[in-house]
Amino acid sequence: MRVPSKWRKAAAVLAVTALAATACGGDDDDDTATGGEPTGEATDGTTGDGGDGGDIATDVGVTEEPCPNPVDDSKGCIYLGILSDLTEGPFAALAVPIVEGQKAFWQRVNENGGIADRYEIDIDTYTRDNKYNPQEHVARYREIEPNVLALAQTLGTPTTLAAADLMAEDNVLGAPASWWSGWEFNDNIVQSGYNYCIESMNGLDWAMEQGDVATVMAVGYPGDYGGDSAAGVAHWAEANSIEFDEGTHIVQTAPNAVAGNQDAPVQAIMNVQPDVIVIATGPLEMAEIVGKVAAAGQESGYAPQFVGSVPTWNPAVLQSEAGPAIQAMYRFVAPWGPFGSDSEAHAAMQEALGEGNAPDNDGFTFGWVWSYPVLSVLEAAAEAGDLTREGLLAVIESVTVDYEGALPDKSYGGDPNETVVREALIVAPDPEAPLGASVQEEFFVGPTAEAFELTEACVAAG
């Protein structure tokens, strides 16, 4: 596969800029902690007996004392960490509900007896804000790592990659809040759903079914989010004999906090005027690009189709000036159905919130679904009598995750090309639907995505 090299260069520029911004903004560890101090004492790495039962080995992040807010105070506590974009990064509007979804998920687990009927889960105490900044992410990881068994969430691909070597050294398992193709090759990561690379192929396969597609363009952040998405676009173009020049058909941009606005990618789109633009940005940037392209094309009649990566969507964009253009020109690809879909998992989400209530956006759904693999690993490790960090890593390949119908079962053992998830949904903005979106096409695998051979990450890390 051809990997667009300039994405990696621009990723470095973006990372440096983000780090500089953080340095100028100062650093206050206390301000980033959203949880309180633990009332239970996490163990220090020695092998214990796992509590009153005495036959489950434990080490870091597992206590015999109950969690700070237990359902049953006769049970011990498993502390899981969260590193998320909670205040100022491009995905903060999604990340806060993601955490809320995870809280609801683990509360349900605790109310149903916890892990092995002996431990409950706490994710509040060690939740920290990574600000979608790799340096901040690593600092917060070092802060919580001595006290957690695993990471219930590690948000962002460049941020998680910044701590990936440390996670490997520390034997820390993590559930990524991102869909980089390279996670399929990382032994410490339990990913859910497809990856950005396959996402692009499915989106373009679907677009081709709607009508002839002669030209395509990739617009997005550099690095392992937009870069992975762009690599999928490049592969799709090659596989379908579509002319694709990396210099003009890949457009790099950055969050508005860094770039100021999206005028540059809008101009690049207008210069080429492709039939379909695959976009991999934050929701705010997506809305600006779609709105400005729609306005610029009014006189000439140019009205392209936008296929968004799943992080580009937030129902709040429908309330922006770009709302009508987004409804007309934009669809997004999703790894599972939005809140309100019909599955056992979605019914459980609704029950957790109370009938008739809805979250602010589908970040809640993401957080809920991303929690299933960690639950499966904890249950398997407890069954094996080893809730140590190494015990968790030892059972990953034997685990098959049951998502309660939210998406197909997932296993992590064997060849990544065989176990990678290829199914995707196409979702349309719909002001009348829950959270402003309705499924236009259920789980499907396009011909390009189906034939794709995943032998390595579509775009290299770093």
Cα 403 from chain centroid?
16
Report pLDDT for 434.
81
Provide the token pair at 409: 């079962």
Per-residue pLDDT band for 462 (boundaries 50, 70, 90) equals: low
Q: What angle do CA 315, 321, 323 make, to 5 degrees?
A: 40
| Structure confidence by residue, pLDDT tens digits, 223-233 | 888 999 999 99
Per-residue pLDDT band for 336 (boundaries 50, 70, 90) equals: very high
Over 90: is that where the pLDDT of 458 sits? yes
Distances (CA, A) of 436 to 310, 323, 356: 14, 11, 15
CA pair distance 448, 236, nearest whole angstrom? 6
Rounded to a whole number of angstroms, the distance between the first and last alpha carbons of the chain is: 18
Per-residue pLDDT band for 93 (boundaries 50, 70, 90) equals: confident
Report pLDDT for 54.
56
CA pair distance 12, 309, nearest whole angstrom? 22
Residues in the chain, how many?
462
Report pLDDT for 393.
97
Report pLDDT for 8.
36
Report pLDDT for 367.
97
Label each residue of 390-410 as H, E or C.
HHHHHHHHHCEECCCCCCCCE
Q: Which DSSP string do the residues of 282-342 spell out, in sequence order?
A: -HHHHHHHHHHHHHHTTTTT---EEEE-GGG--GGGGGSTTHHHHHHHEEEEESSPPTT-S
CA pair distance 89, 215, nearest whole angstrom? 32
| Structure confidence by residue, pLDDT tens digits, 354-386 | 998 999 889 999 999 999 999 999 999 999 999
Q: What is the DSSP letter of 88?
A: S
CB-facing half-sphere around the CA of 372: CA atoms within 13 A: 25
Give Cβ neighbours of residue 351 (< 8 Å, ≥ 6 apart). none
Strands 410-411, 400-401: pairing kind:
antiparallel
Mean pLDDT (whole number) for 423-446: 93
Helix (H, G, I), strand (E, B) or coil at 177: strand
Share of the chain above pLDDT 90, in %: 78
| Structure confidence by residue, pLDDT tens digits, 160-172 | 999 999 999 999 9
Report pLDDT for 383.
96
Strands (E), 6-129: 57-58, 62-63, 76-84, 119-122, 127-129
CA pair distance 313, 286, nearest whole angstrom? 8
The per-residue pLDDT of the chain, averaged, comes to 88
User: Please, are residues 397 and 381 in contact by the beta-carbon 8 Å criterion?
Assistant: no
Of the candidates 338, 367, 373, the one whose C-alpha atom is nearest the C-alpha of residue 100 is 367
82: β partners:
127, 153
* Helix residue ranges, H only, 145-225: 157-170, 196-210
Helix (H, G, I), strand (E, B) or coil at 36: coil
Per-residue pLDDT band for 91 (boundaries 50, 70, 90) equals: confident
The residue behind tokens 């196409």 is 426
Mean pLDDT (whole number) for 234-252: 95
Report pLDDT for 87.
94
Mean pLDDT (whole number) for 398-402: 95
Provide the token pair at 82: 């969260």
Per-residue pLDDT band for 257 (boundaries 50, 70, 90) equals: confident
Give Cβ neighbours of residue 425 (< 8 Å, ≥ 6 apart). 333, 334, 335, 336, 337, 439, 440, 441, 442, 443, 444
Q: What angle do CA 317, 272, 450 make, to 5 degrees?
A: 70
pTM for this predicted structure: 0.83
CA pair distance 275, 307, nearest whole angstrom? 11
Helix (H, G, I), strand (E, B) or coil at 203: helix
Q: Which DSSP string do the residues of 223-243 spell out, in sequence order?
A: STTHHHHHHHHHHHHHHTT--
Give Cβ neighbours of residue 342 (< 8 Å, ≥ 6 apart). none
Q: 52, exposed or middle or buried, with CB in 10 Å at 0-12, 13-18, 19+?
A: exposed
For helices 226-239 and 5-25, angle between their N-to-C axes, nearest 10 degrees: 170
CA pair distance 104, 365, nearest whole angstrom? 10
Over 70: is that where the pLDDT of 7 sits? no
Report pLDDT for 435.
86
Of the candidates 385, 381, 423, 382, the one whose C-alpha atom is nearest the C-alpha of residue 398 is 381
Phi, psi of 442 (to 5 degrees): -70, -175
pLDDT higher at 158 or 285:
285
User: Which amino acid appears at position 412 of this protein?
Assistant: Y
Report pLDDT for 226.
92
